[in-house]
Amino acid sequence: MLSYENGDGVELTVEYLDGNDNPTLPNTSEYSLYCESTKKELIGWTALAVQTDTLPNGLARYYSELEIPGSANIIQSTKNRREVKTLTVTTNRGQSDQKSAKYRYLIEA
């Protein structure tokens, strides 16, 4: 599990692929951030803009870039030296083809 220092911002790129690792364009994409250690929602569902470019092999690439601000990556409880955060990215939320991926990381004091 990756770790970051207390208050660090985190930049991520999310690529959208189907079960066969082929690029797939979602109708919608959203993310949320949750602190597993304190059971607190840090960032509620937030829409992601899906971008497109073309790979050298001619296939489309669908992706989103997101930044978790340092203000969301702070230790929530003064009793903790480290906390586990979970970023969830969900496409087509509430639809029959909804898919989610989770990314867990540590914040350390």
Q: What is the pLDDT along the chain (109 residues), one digit of tens a residue?
A: 999 999 999 999 999 998 899 899 999 999 999 999 999 999 999 999 999 999 898 989 999 999 999 999 999 999 999 999 999 999 999 999 999 999 999 999 9
pLDDT at 72: 96
Measured torsion, CA atoms of residues 14, 29, 93, 89, in degrees rounded to the nearest 10 = 30
pLDDT at 19: 87
Considering the four listed CATH numbers 2.60.40.1260, 3.90.1720.10, 2.60.40.1080, 2.60.40.1930, the one that applies to the domain covering 3-108 is 2.60.40.1930
Q: How many helices (H) and strands (E) does the chain have?
A: 0, 8
Q: Map out the domains of the chain as residue ranges.
A: 3-108
State the residue for tokens 């949320």. 32
**Strand 99-108 and strand 3-5: pairing?**
parallel
H or E element at residue 62: strand 60-68
pLDDT at 59: 87
How many CB atoms are closer than 10 A to CB 26?
Answer: 21
